[in-house]
Each structure stands twice: as C-alpha cells, then as structure tokens.
Amino acid sequence: MSTSSLPASDRSDVTARLRDALLGASFTADGLLELLGAPAYVALARSETVPALRATRGDTPLDTLVRLFLLQQPVPHSRVADVLPVAACLESGWLVPVGADPEGDLAATVDVRPYGGPGGEDWFIVSDLGRAVGGAGGIGSRGRQADTAVVLGVGGASTTLAGITVRTPVSAALDLGTGSGIQALHAVQHATRVTATDLNPRALHITALTLALSGAPAAELREGSLFEPVRGDETFDLIVSNPPFVISPGARLTYRDGGMGGDDLCRSLVQGAGERLNQGGFAQFLANWQHVEGEDWQDRLRAWVPRGCDAWIVQREVQDVTQYAELWLRDAGDHQGDASAYEARYNAWLDEFEARKVKAVGFGWITLRKTGAAVPSVTVEEWPHPIEQPLGEAIRAHFERLDFLRSHDDAALLAGHFKLAAEIIQEQVGPPGAEDPEHVVLRQNRGMRRATKVDTVGAGFAGVCDGSLSAGRILDAIAQLVHEDPVLLRDRTPAQIRLLVEQGFIEPA
C-alpha cells in the first residue's frame, strides 16, 4: 500500500477550500449527530452503517458528504458538484470517478470524519477507507483481507490517550506512532513544535492531511521505528504514544502489532523515553503488558521505569489469554473469514502465550515525569473503575503533589495547611441503624473518582481542612475531642495525611 492513492498533502489551497466546503455544509460532529440521530451515530462506532445509510437518503449537502466520506458510497457527480469544488478535489486526489464516465458517480479516496476538539473546534480525522472505527475488520472491510499498512482513524484507545494527556503549554512534543495524526492534532494546540513519527509512510501522509484539513499548524513528520527518528541530542517536554501494543504471534498489522516479542515494544518505549525527556517533562503511553506465571505484574512494570523519572502506572483492565486472542482476531475481521484459518490463528496466539508462560494481559496507561529525583516515586496500581475524562489536569496535579510530599517530612507536613479537594463526599458503611459506622469512605466525584477508607480521625481531619489551621493544630483539636494524647495522634497520622494528599482528597492550601 503506497501513498500514491492518497490525496496530495502539498495542496494547501485545495485542502482549505475543502475545509470551507465541509464546514459550510455543517459536516461537523454536531451536524452529524443532528442529521443521523443518536442511535445511528452511535451505531457507526460499532461499525454498523445501515442506520446511517437510512438516515442519509435525503439530498442535502450534508447527506452527500456523509455518504461520500463516512459511508463510502458512490455519489453522482452533479450532487457532489453542488457541495464541493469537484475539479480541484479530483485533481488533488480527494475524489475519484467510479466508472469510465467522468460525469458519472464519484467516490472518496479516504475516510474523513468530523472530530470535535476539546474547545469546540471543528476538526477532521482522515484515515484509510472503511477504517475510521472498529479495527481492520471495521466498516466496509467485511470479507476483505486486512491490509498490513492500513491507517486507522480514531478508536477508543486514541481518545483515551488524548484525554489523559497533560495539556500544559510546552515548546517541544513528540507523537510516536502518529497514525491518523489525532495525538499530533491535539499537541499542536499547546506545543510550539510537534514531531510526529511513524513506521508507516502512509500514516505520515495521512497525518499531514488531518492537520491541514483541521486548519491546524503543521507537524514535523519523520519516518522510522520507535525513537530512531529522534536525533541524538533531541529532547521533548511531552512524549505521547498510542503504540502498536498488541501482544501477538507475529507482526501482521502495522497499526497494532509491534512485531517485537511479547510486551517488548511497550517496554522499549517506556525505557527509552527517560533520556528523551526534558526536566519536568511528561511521557504518556497506552500499553499492554504480560501477566507471567510466578511473577508479580506490578514488579514487571516497575522494572520498566527509566532512571530519573517518577511514574504512575494504572492497570485499567485484565483479560485472560483467550479473551485477548479473540479480541484481536475480531479486530482483524478474522472471525468473518474461513473457519480453519481462524482456528489456526487462534491456536498460534495461544501457542505464543503458552511458550511465554503468559496467563493474562493487562491494559492501561503509563505516565512518566522526569524529575531527576534520587528516590523516584513509582506508583503501580489497578483502577478498573470509571474515571472522568479529560484526566490530563488530574494527572499533572498528581505529580505536583508527589513533589510536595517528597519535599515535606512529617514535621513539615504537620506545619502545612490543606484544603479539601472539590466534590468530595463521605459515605458511612455499616449495618442499618448502627450508632457508629463500621468504616467511613471518602469518595471523589472528579478525576480518578477514587474512594478511600479512612478512620474517624481521617474523616474528621479531611472535613475540617479549609486551609485556615495547620494540620498539626487540627490534630490537636481532634485529640481533645476524642480524648487521645495529641503527641501520639501527631505521631501516627502523617501517613494517613500523605495518602490523602497523594490521592488528591486534600490539597496543599
């Protein structure tokens, strides 16, 4: 699959006219939802096109664009000419004639999908035809062999990474494995210079189209594997990667199979990021990791963290090896093909896991922050519960709180002033009618939506934190109330205060 079948990426004049035409016809995320209605809109994300085909039987400009660019239907030349600069789109390769008649039906050469930015921006994601959602087995690929170099659009993993990324203004950002360019599109909004890399030249070409059609600044595009395209002395303030993290028995699909054994690709990325980060910089990855017989998965991940970096690793899901193999067989559309080929592929997957003694695979996020601290803080945890996206700001604040804790010993902590974070509630758990709760849970409504068990001192402490009294003074008052020796209480409580700060229930005032 070369890039020759793709629209020209150096025709900014045509791309700008195309963008104007798309916006003029309300080919936007909001416009699409209004035209299709929520059920058909959501069905598209399940790779089901029938409801959307039914909803676009009209002849408005928006019907035309949805049929052309999202549903990949041929549309008569005359209808397209009412909406788009047809000659320019044909000449620059956005459209092609379907048959011999130049005045006959036209078809799009790429999938173009409206994508709403976080500030209400109207952006577009370009991807290979039929691959906007749902993996290689997505829309339009039924019965088709999955192409190895296919470039996918935005999936759940793409939006997860975009949401967890720390969005402070920076000078240099790297999007490694850019694909359709979605992470680069977000990054150019807050980074002065963005470098987008990919092993697949087709992806780099498509990234250029995504950025141009979205009216965004360009990124520097570099072809190559992992950190190869990064020059020796080059460092970044932000590195993001939604890499080909799938642990599979062979490199088959470039967008997902890293081609290194087991979870080596994710490990290499994480290990290699440390020396490419500027002081204070963040590296954020989506990753899969092996749960190997006789090994603690958390120890495995701790060993990946490069020197000089704090890390926060969150396991969001674990699948056993059969669920995992089936997930990716379906993603490639293998379940729709020949039964014996499916069985052979499934077996190859299980053979590979057996040989590596892998029992399960974890899915999650890895965030590194370069601090140079002699004793880095590394948190590896399981949090499969719902969270509030975008989480980027909560992630930035997590690392800021780690800095605070590192620089405050227990005496300094007790001298400090704290405020209860926004939207924390207290739940009391115990048998109905009981005078005292068995335990108290503090729960966050924001960010990670954490819940943590505290004792009555912890709950009382958090409740009083409004920034006015020092932590030590609050404990002295609590000691009086509960008839406890204030010295002992001051002695045993800092650990609990540390946890409440680390998890974001209370914040330094």
Ligand X SMILES: C[S@@+](CC[C@H](N)C(=O)[O-])C[C@H]1O[C@@H](n2cnc3c(N)ncnc32)[C@H](O)[C@@H]1O
Instruction: Name the residues that contact ligand X, by CB under 6 A.
Output: 154, 158, 161, 176-180, 182-183, 197-200, 203, 225-226, 242-244, 254-256, 258
Q: Backbone phi, then psi, for 475, in 5-degree steps?
A: -65, -40
Whichever of 132 and 414 has its CB closer to ligand X, that residue is 132
Number of residues assigned to the chain: 509
Q: Minimum distance from CB of 34 to ligand X (Å)?
A: 26
Q: Minimum distance from CB of 48 to ligand X (Å)?
A: 21
Whichever of 244 and 362 has its CB closer to ligand X, that residue is 244
Give the bridge partners for 463, in sequence order. none
Region for residue 449 given its phi and psi (left: phi exceeds 0; alpha: psi -120 to 50; beta: otherwise): left
DSSP characters over 159-224: HHHHHHS----EEEEEEES-TTSHHHHHHTTTEEEEEEEES-HHHHHHHHHHHHHTTPPP-EEEE-
Buried b / exposed e over 209-220, threshold 16 CB at 10 Å, is bbbbbbebbebe
* 290/380 Cα distance (integer angstroms): 14
Q: Minimum distance from CB of 226 to ligand X (Å)?
A: 5
Would the CA dihedral through 462, 465, 470, 476 be positive or negative?
negative
Whichever of 204 and 440 has its CB closer to ligand X, that residue is 204
Sheet containing 417-420, strands listed edge to edge, beginning at the edge strand earlier in sequence: 466-470, 417-420, 506-508
Q: Minimum distance from CB of 32 to ligand X (Å)?
A: 19
Q: Minimum distance from CB of 245 to ligand X (Å)?
A: 7
Q: Minimum distance from CB of 424 to ligand X (Å)?
A: 33
- Report how far apart, in Å, the C-alpha atoms of 264 and of each of 177, 179, 270, 368, 437 are: 16, 20, 10, 18, 48
Whichever of 92 and 254 has its CB closer to ligand X, that residue is 254
Q: Let me know: does 284 contact 273? Beta carbons within 8 Å.
A: no
Q: Tell me the residue nearest to ligand X as measured from the CB.
A: 179
Q: Minimum distance from CB of 203 to ligand X (Å)?
A: 4
Whichever of 95 and 286 has its CB closer to ligand X, that residue is 286
> 369 in helix, strand or coil?
strand
- Element housing 467 (H / E): strand 466-470
Whichever of 180 and 503 has its CB closer to ligand X, that residue is 180
Q: Which two tokens stand for residue 450?
A: 């954490």
Q: Minimum distance from CB of 284 to ligand X (Å)?
A: 11
Whichever of 254 and 493 has its CB closer to ligand X, that residue is 254
- HSE-CB of 149 using CA atoms within 13 angstroms: 13
Q: Minimum distance from CB of 281 to ligand X (Å)?
A: 19
Whichever of 208 and 413 has its CB closer to ligand X, that residue is 208
Whichever of 64 and 158 has its CB closer to ligand X, that residue is 158
Whichever of 176 and 380 has its CB closer to ligand X, that residue is 176
Q: Minimum distance from CB of 145 to ligand X (Å)?
A: 18
| Burial tier of 171 (Cβ tally within 10 Å: 0-12, 13-18, 19+) | exposed
- Report how far apart, in Å, the C-alpha atoms of 84 and of each of 16, 91, 439 are: 12, 13, 64
- Element housing 313 (H / E): strand 309-320
